[in-house]
Amino acid sequence: MKIALLVAPEGVEQVELTDPWKAVQAAGDVPSLVSTEQGSVQAFHHLDRADTFPVDAVAGETDVAEYGALILPGGVANPDALRMDERAVAFVRSFFDAGKPVAAICHAPWTLIEADVLQGRTLTSWPSLRTDIRNAGGTWVDEPVHICRAGRSVLITSRKPDDLGDFTTAFTKEFAMAAI
């Protein structure tokens, strides 16, 4: 199964991209880096520049039908940029409309808020998003990982890089169940 990882051209927290990427590969699936521009994305280690990664597809120019699931890595700047891009927001919303699983970590739920998909859902995130999630109709919980089965699709969320082990275990299991 092909899994989309959606990131902005700059600002993704590198470990929140690379650990899920490796987990997707280890599960026998194919990761695909989707961004809002062609070329490459600049990752960060918190505030310091890290590696760059080649973009496989551009949101708005790729069909959600090509993918079995979506992963939204965090970093503060990454989801802030994505939520300002209409094509990225529509790309995210279309996974929910199609009933496909979505996984998001750290600050990534900002993009979910903009996609207006949190009403009636329970999720976790970096703690500073708690009020934003509540204002968007979601319920925020402080857990390493939370799986919400409200609506047509499964939403798997996690708080921070320290929770990546729990996060990758949870989403690979959910993605495998969705592929059946």
Pairwise CA distance, residues 30 & 4, whole Å: 9
Query: Domains of the chain by range and CATH?
Result: 2-179 (3.40.50.880)
Pairwise CA distance, residues 15 & 20, whole Å: 8
pLDDT above 80 (res 123): yes
- What's the pLDDT tens digit per position in 148-168? 998 788 999 999 999 999 999
pLDDT (average), residues 39-59? 97
- Per-residue pLDDT band at 179 (split at 50, 70, 90): confident
% of the chain beyond a pLDDT of 70:
100
- Active-site annotation holder among 45, 46, 107, 146: 107
- What's the pLDDT tens digit per position in 126-135? 999 999 999 9
pLDDT (average), residues 119-131? 98
Q: For the CA atoms of 13, 14, 20, 24, what is the dihedral angle to 10 degrees?
A: 140
pTM: 0.98
Pairwise CA distance, residues 180 & 175, whole Å: 9
Distances (CA, A) of 168 to 10, 22, 38, 62: 23, 9, 27, 25
Say whether 107 is catalytic: yes
- Report pLDDT for 87: 98
For residue 11, give the nearest of 48, 56, 59, 43 by alpha carbon: 43
Pairwise CA distance, residues 43 & 51, whole Å: 6
